[in-house]
Amino acid sequence: MKELNPTDPIGQNIIKLISNVCFSVFVFSVLIFTVIAITYQPPDPWESSRALTKIFTDVENATFKTDNSVLKTGEDIATAPMAMPDGSLSPITETTIEKSEEELGTRNVSLKSGCEDVSVVNCSEPRVLIAIQRFNLRTFKAIAFLDYQTPVNGSRPNECDVAWRFRNKKEKSWRKYRDFRRFRMGFKDDCSYKVVRPGRWHSGLNARRPRFRYGNDPRARIAPPVRDDEINDTIPVLGSDSAFRKGRYLYYSRGGDYCKGMNHYLWSLLCALGEARYLNRTLVMDLSICLASSYTQSKKDEEGKDFRFYFDFEHLKEVSSIVEEGEFLKDWKRWDKSHKMKIPLRKVASYKTTPMQLRKDKSTVIWRQFDAPEPDNYWYRVCEGPSAKYVERPWQAIWKSKRLMNIVSEISGSMDWDFDAVHVVRGEKAQNKELWPNLDDDTSPNALAAKLEGKIAPWRNLYIATNEPFYNYFDKLRSHYKVHLLDDYKYLWGNTSEWYNETTLLNGGRPVEFDGYMRVEVDTEVLYRSKTRIETFYNLTKDCKDGINTC
């Protein structure tokens, strides 16, 4: 057989064909790898965006179907407790207490000699605090104790008052809360201290913080002693023209989201925060909220509500680059007055201009304007379509207001953190027989009593989180359980409460209504802190949460 000569036309063609095939395979492989690299998005460290979308709300044809009886925010979504910003205040454990006892032993701090006077307790003696710490660890298992103050004398010689800071183990944030209790102390056979009886929530009045008077007017209202001075929700100020000019800002004009439900508002706000992060810009934020009629006593939309009434502005400032709209416009106006050169500005008229198209824009201000008719003037439209692959909503940035969370701690603490809860959804859903034909009957007092039997032990503390407007609706359950409703705690937001004083101060001296949305926030968080939780849908009724055929 004749050997194939590479110089022959046939041999050259075969070699060319093989090389072309190999090169095509190489190019195709590179193309596939490039497409995968561009389109791949790493998993969201919180949850998948699709799952979180369902948690917050369901979107259909740019309108929202929501269950306004429960609200989840960033601290509820985290899968584990977040680390504190400074890494301090680790919870006190039995090991911590044992180390304290060892240190006391090396300093020769003796026990009460001979127990000669068992009616008098030296509250400042370190072993008193150790006895209280050990008692608290055994008794309040839902609480992580962070630090204690030195006990002080109570009202009797054998009583001690002590204050501490804590967090609930079910709360995923690093926020701290405060309690102070009175303990009746005694002695064991070996003359060591023991707790004879603990006081109730906030019973240790001698360990409370000093009263605080608002303003310089001697006639000004004196706040109750439980003031939370760790809240810092002041508005950040840029401070100088140079600082303003060096910044890069993303400014959203008010759109169709205004006066919509809070879940809609959050969904859109998180889109704006996400785009600002993607563009590496500071978000210009309007702190004025319009509260939808579904949450107000007047049953009308109410403008002029402060973002800080509902959400934790201090936390938002710490995790996001934001500037308040009023301060921003003031600085912008001052710049224009004092400089001939105007600030570079790009106006974006449509949400269809994607964040990816704005990524390289060098303008000082990118101003998104939402002037189109609904639903094209919703903020969240910016994050739809291809943008969803690039813009991630920062769920962890939105926490509930610390002032409202203090009320949650007050309610939970008043039940000694040992309670069960049932979530009873009624309201408009119970009246809508077409979508929820069984809900009204399934949540009637008789039905509730029958369905809770066997699930919750008799005479347990039972917190009922509900949108049922009639307070006495659940009276039948009072013969089975120690029933608690949100309205039992009206004093926590009444005109002598700390919440009332602080929100009034925040609102320029005008009292703030404890509205329906605040009720939802507090109800939700107390519900989450219960030991046993019974839900309306899937537990109390065979109806579907979103109506017929949606289970």
Higher per-residue pLDDT: 341 or 443: 443
Mean per-residue pLDDT of the chain = 85
Return the number of other C-beta atoms located less than 10 Å from residue 342's C-beta.
Answer: 10
Q: Pick the more confident residue, 222 or 469.
A: 469
Higher pLDDT, 31 or 278: 278
- Terminus-to-terminus CA distance in the chain, angstroms? 76
Q: Is 169 exposed, middle or buried (0-12, 13-18, 19+ CB in 10 A)?
A: middle
* Overall average pLDDT of the 280-301 stretch: 94
Domain boundaries, the chain: 49-66+239-397, 94-208, 402-534
Q: What is the pLDDT of residues 508-527, one digit of tens each?
A: 999 999 999 999 999 999 99
The helix (run of H) or strand (run of E) holding residue 74 is helix 74-77
Structure token pair of residue 241 = 């023209």
Asked whether the predicted pLDDT for residue 418 surpasses 90, the reply is yes
Please tell me the distance from the alpha carbon of residue 169 to that of residue 142, in angstroms, as a whole number.
6
Label each residue of 128-145 as H, E or C: HHHHHHHHHHHHCCCEEE
Round to whole Å and give the CA distance between 38 and 245: 34
SS3 525: helix
pLDDT tens profile 476-493 = 999 999 999 999 999 999
CB neighbours of residue 423 within 10 Å: 22
Residue 231 neighbours by CB under 8 Å, 6+ apart: 314, 402, 403, 502
Q: Tens digits of per-residue pLDDT, 133-158?
A: 999 999 999 999 999 999 999 999 99
**Rounded to two decimals, what is the model's pTM?**
0.82
Question: Are 249 and 281 a contacting pair, CB within 8 Å?
Answer: yes
Cβ atoms within 10 Å of 162's Cβ, excluding its own: 25
Top mean-pLDDT range of 38-52, 169-183, 409-423? 409-423
Q: What is the percent of the chain where pLDDT is above 90?
A: 65
Residue 440 has pLDDT above 60, yes or no: yes
- Taking the C-alpha atoms of residue 401 and residue 232, their distance in angstroms, rounded to an integer, is 11
Under 8 Å CB-to-CB from 207, ≥6 apart: which residues? 149, 151, 152, 161, 162, 163, 180, 181
Structure tokens, 108: 């020769």
3-state SS assignment for residue 365: strand
| C-alpha to C-alpha distances, 331 to 236, 253, 282, 306, nearest whole angstrom | 12, 17, 14, 21
Report the candidate in 166, 194, 197 with the shortest Cα–Cα distance to residue 180. 166
**Tokens encoding 208:** 């409370």
The whole-number average pLDDT for the span 305-320 is 95
Give the per-residue pLDDT at 110.
Answer: 47
**Model pLDDT for residues 343-366, shown as the tens digit of each residue:** 999 999 999 999 999 999 999 999
